């Protein structure tokens, strides 16, 4: 089968399409014929050896896939050949097939297209875990989503809206704000693509406070961080929850007096470790999300698809800050 392979640390241009052996389902595993693979920011970090998790080379990027079960390993009773599944693989998704533990796979509704299925797990399960499991979101609350036009940003917006919250989108351009509004944001603002500390950060803080309203944001979803984090934290409500999801703009240092002044919680969200330590709870979140999908409450917004041989270009879109919604690589 064909796979996009990383043999050395570097950008998307270092990936090569190669012929590798077909996957074999070991005990407890499924062999899956991959039809689609969701692209996520960690793919970009993984190939550069910049992610907190390192993969042994050679490897294929791609952390979430959808496809058909092509073989069932010994001891697997829940799946049969031909089942349509999604799987959380970490790496290996940008290939024509994969062998994956059955415990990391879930059958998908017959009506769900493979690209939607492949774009579902990372963004929606992370968002639901952040907003609901950790963020204790209530239906009448205000949620500020930073980077709201990105993969996680759009999913968090849709999930928060579906749960009855008011969503304020913060993004870096007019085009991204229009996109965020189309996909569920009630209101929003544009932040500078690069922020210098002060005076811009004070200005941004004022703009964020004006956008979320006098009471502040009850929940802040932050997959961006960098120089946005402190101005955003300054607009949080009393007893608000600041959810740290990622660092596309870099890691920030925050003044420790702010959480005391605001009486707020700052929560680190690590969905990957949650899936390992509490798989049943994550499975239950997934079932809830799939029901929301079936009822039309949430739906992946796929703005581009690339064939496997151009998977590097798909990852490069995220590097250039040029992606909106989700990008999917298809076979």
Ligand X SMILES: NC(=O)c1ccc[n+]([C@@H]2O[C@H](COP(=O)([O-])OP(=O)(O)OC[C@H]3O[C@@H](n4cnc5c(N)ncnc54)[C@H](OP(=O)(O)O)[C@@H]3O)[C@@H](O)[C@H]2O)c1
Please identify, using beta-carbon distances, which residue of 2 and 321 lies nearer to ligand X. 321
Tell me how many degrees the CA angle 266-268-273 measures, rounded to the nearest 5. Answer: 160
> Contact, 29 vs 40, CB < 8 A?
no
- Cα gap 12→321, rounded to integer Å: 14
Query: Rule CB under 6 A: which of 31-90 touch ligand X?
Result: 40-42
Q: Closest separation between CB of residue 220 and ligand X, Å?
A: 14
| Structure letter (DSSP) for residue 226 | G
Q: Closest separation between CB of residue 228 and ligand X, Å?
A: 8
- Cα gap 232→243, rounded to integer Å: 11
At 47, which helix (H) or strand (E)? helix 41-47
Q: Which member of 147, 216, 240, 311 binds ligand X (CB under 6 A)?
A: 147
275 makes contact with ligand X (CB under 6 A)? no
152 makes contact with ligand X (CB under 6 A)? yes
Tell me how many degrees the CA angle 187-192-193 measures, rounded to the nearest 5. Answer: 110
CA-wise closest residue to 279 among 103, 30, 107, 77: 103
> Contact, 60 vs 34, CB < 8 A?
no
122 makes contact with ligand X (CB under 6 A)? yes
From residue 222 to residue 261, the character string flagging contacts with ligand X as x (rule: CB under 6 A) and all else as - is: -xx--------------------xxxxx------------
Q: Which member of 62, 150, 184, 188 binds ligand X (CB under 6 A)?
A: 150
Sheet holding 187-190, edge to edge: 187-190, 166-171, 142-146, 217-222, 236-244, 265-268
CB within 8 A of 287, min separation 6: which ones? none
Please identify, using beta-carbon distances, which residue of 73 and 183 lies nearer to ligand X. 183
CB within 8 A of 263, min separation 6: which ones? 238, 239
321 makes contact with ligand X (CB under 6 A)? yes
Q: Closest separation between CB of residue 155 and ligand X, Å?
A: 8
> Contact, 42 vs 75, CB < 8 A?
no
269 makes contact with ligand X (CB under 6 A)? yes
Please identify, using beta-carbon distances, which residue of 18 and 265 lies nearer to ligand X. 265
Please identify, using beta-carbon distances, which residue of 176 and 262 lies nearer to ligand X. 176
201 makes contact with ligand X (CB under 6 A)? no
User: Which of these segments, 79-87, 106-114, 160-168, 265-273, binds ligand X (CB under 6 A)?
Assistant: 265-273
Binding site for ligand X (CB under 6 A): 40-42, 122, 126, 147, 149-153, 171-172, 176, 223-224, 245-249, 269-272, 318, 321, 323
């Amino acid at each position: 089968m064909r796979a996009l392979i990383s043999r050395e640390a570097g950008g998307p241009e270092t990936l090569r399409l190669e012929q590798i052996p077909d996957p074999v389902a070991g005990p407890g595993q499924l062999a899956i014929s991959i039809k689609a693979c969701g692209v996520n920011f960690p793919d970009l970090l993984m190939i550069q050896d910049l992610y907190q998790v390192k993969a042994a080379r050679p490897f294929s990027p791609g952390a979430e896939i959808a496809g058909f079960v092509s073989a069932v390993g010994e001891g697997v009773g829940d799946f049969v050949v031909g089942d349509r599944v999604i799987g959380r693989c970490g790496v290996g998704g940008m290939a024509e097939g994969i062998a994956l533990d059955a415990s990391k796979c879930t059958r998908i509704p017959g009506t769900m297209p493979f690209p939607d299925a492949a774009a579902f797990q990372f963004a929606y399960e992370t968002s639901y875990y952040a907003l609901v499991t950790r963020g204790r979101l209530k239906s009448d609350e205000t949620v500020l989503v930073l980077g709201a036009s990105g993969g996680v940003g759009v999913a968090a917006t849709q999930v928060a809206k579906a749960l009855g919250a008011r969503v304020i989108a913060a993004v870096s351009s007019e085009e991204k704000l229009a996109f965020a509004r189309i996909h569920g944001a009630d209101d929003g603002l544009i932040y500078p693509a690069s922020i210098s500390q002060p005076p811009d950060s004070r200005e941004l803080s004022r703009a964020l406070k004006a956008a979320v309203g006098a009471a502040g944001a009850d929940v802040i979803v932050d997959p961006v961080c960098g120089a946005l984090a402190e101005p955003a934290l300054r607009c949080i409500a009393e007893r608000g929850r600041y959810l740290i999801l990622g660092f596309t703009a870099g890691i920030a240092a925050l003044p420790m007096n702010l959480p005391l002044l605001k009486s707020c919680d700052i929560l680190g969200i690590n969905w990957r470790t949650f899936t390992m330590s509490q798989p049943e709870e994550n499975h239950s979140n997934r079932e809830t999300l799939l029901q929301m999908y079936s009822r039309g409450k949430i739906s992946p917004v796929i703005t581009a698809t690339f064939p496997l041989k151009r998977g590097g270009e798909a990852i490069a879109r995220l590097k250039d800050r040029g992606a909106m919604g989700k990008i999917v690589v298809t076979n």
